[in-house]
Amino acid sequence: MEGKLYYQDAYIQSFTAQVVKQEQDRAGNWYIVLKQTAFYPTGGGQPHDLGTIEDQQVVNVEEVAGEIRHYLDRPLQDLGKEVSGIINWKRRFDHMQQHAGQHILSAAFDHLFAFKTVSFHLGNELLTIDLETESLTEKEAKKAEELANQIILENRPIETKWVSEEELSQYSLRKETKVKEDIRLVIIPDFDDNGCGGTHPKATGEVFAIKILDWEKQKKKTRVQFVCGNRVIKQLDQKQKVLLELTKLLNAPEKEMEQATQRLLENGKMAEKLLEQLQERLLQYEAKDLLQKSEQKKLIGEVFQNRTIQELQKLARLITSEEETAIVFFVSQNENRLQLVCARGAAGMENMKKVIANALPLINGKGGGSDSFAQGGGEALMSGEQMLQHLLESTK
């Protein structure tokens, strides 16, 4: 603990210290070790501090083999004098709020439902705890959130104590400690005793608020997503912006947003269905039109631009089922590709599989089908008209 100023007082934002050493780690990153420091290193689920030392950026802080390494963006020049360090307080205080909030919420779940917290993650935006339960109801989540916020409102002190393993028996720890000596307890009187090496505010009121956002089943556990402190305001702000935008877009008040969205989705589905029906009818007209246009009412050849092969297949089927003596050759030019559909009615004798097999090599194409219906595609190595001529000639 010696030299760890953040344990003496978590509110120290600036300090001075002698440099013990400056070295590079195996990856070639420069770091300095100080006689004392207020920079909190990564640990106990809490991310490291940021800030400056002698106006140089501290980019990472890690505790390795008992020394606290302050990684700097470039090495320090003057190591002889005392250096001054300044913590990025906004980041640190946020971590203190989140960390203490997690203690409170975990304790609330434990008190109310005996759901143990088995892991904790403090992310940039959100926090998660994994509870040892396979399910969590809306009611349970609400109750835990209410109790946690009640503890915050009561502004109870948050105390820290260093104890030995023997002294531990005087406390009822929420979770067994991993450390066996110099155990640091974080205590919220009459509510929570927990072993923890992180930084916390001096009273629960500073956590400000806790809001559970969501939860999901994770194997045999439940992962609860939440935020504390100023992040609650940030979340409210983000969500409010989205909501306001949606109320404008949907032209509905906030409370009716759900119905308005449902209506929109249903309308979309109906429009889609209608469009499908109209397309189908249009194809039927197109099929009739092509049949009428064909002189012998038998051989129909067309070149299209940018039509899907599915659409042309449908159109060819409509024609051949309407007129059993019809032969259909469709070519569609889609950018640098040619797509072919060759079909005949039930009364025809021509082999469409053979026709397409003769045509495809001309365009490095692939395809196949049956005697009466075949399709394929390849590169546009010739025009659609040229390809159609080739197909028409193959039936002569």
Q: Which residues bind Zn ion (CB under 5 A)?
A: 99, 196, 198
Would you give the end-to-end CA distance of the chain in angstroms? 97
Kindly state the helix (H) or strand (E) to which residue 267 belongs, with its residue range.
helix 257-293
Nearer to Zn ion, 17 or 61 (CB): 61
CB of 239 to Zn ion, least distance (A): 28
Nearer to Zn ion, 198 or 378 (CB): 198
Q: Going along 83-209, which residue ranges are E strands? A: 83-87, 117-122, 127-131, 159-163, 183-188, 192-195
The pair phi, psi for residue 247, each rounded to 5°, is -60, -35
Nearer to Zn ion, 4 or 307 (CB): 4
Angle at 55 between CA 54 and CA 56, to 5 degrees: 90
Nearer to Zn ion, 196 or 210 (CB): 196
CB of 169 to Zn ion, least distance (A): 21
Nearer to Zn ion, 188 or 374 (CB): 188
Nearer to Zn ion, 101 or 301 (CB): 101
Using CB positions, name the residue nearest to Zn ion. 196
CB of 120 to Zn ion, least distance (A): 9
- The token duo for 43 is 């640990």
Nearer to Zn ion, 145 or 193 (CB): 193
What is residue 55's three-state secondary structure?
Answer: coil
CB of 200 to Zn ion, least distance (A): 6
Angstrom distance (rounded) from CA 147 to CA 192 = 13
CB of 186 to Zn ion, least distance (A): 5
CB of 203 to Zn ion, least distance (A): 14
CB of 49 to Zn ion, least distance (A): 15
Work out whether the CA dihedral 241, 245, 246, 247 comes out positive or negative: positive
Nearest to 94 by CA among 233, 240, 237: 233
* Three-state helix/strand/coil letters over 197-228: CCCCCCEHHHHCCEEEEEEEEECCEEEEEEEE
Work out whether the CA dihedral 78, 80, 82, 85 comes out positive or negative: positive
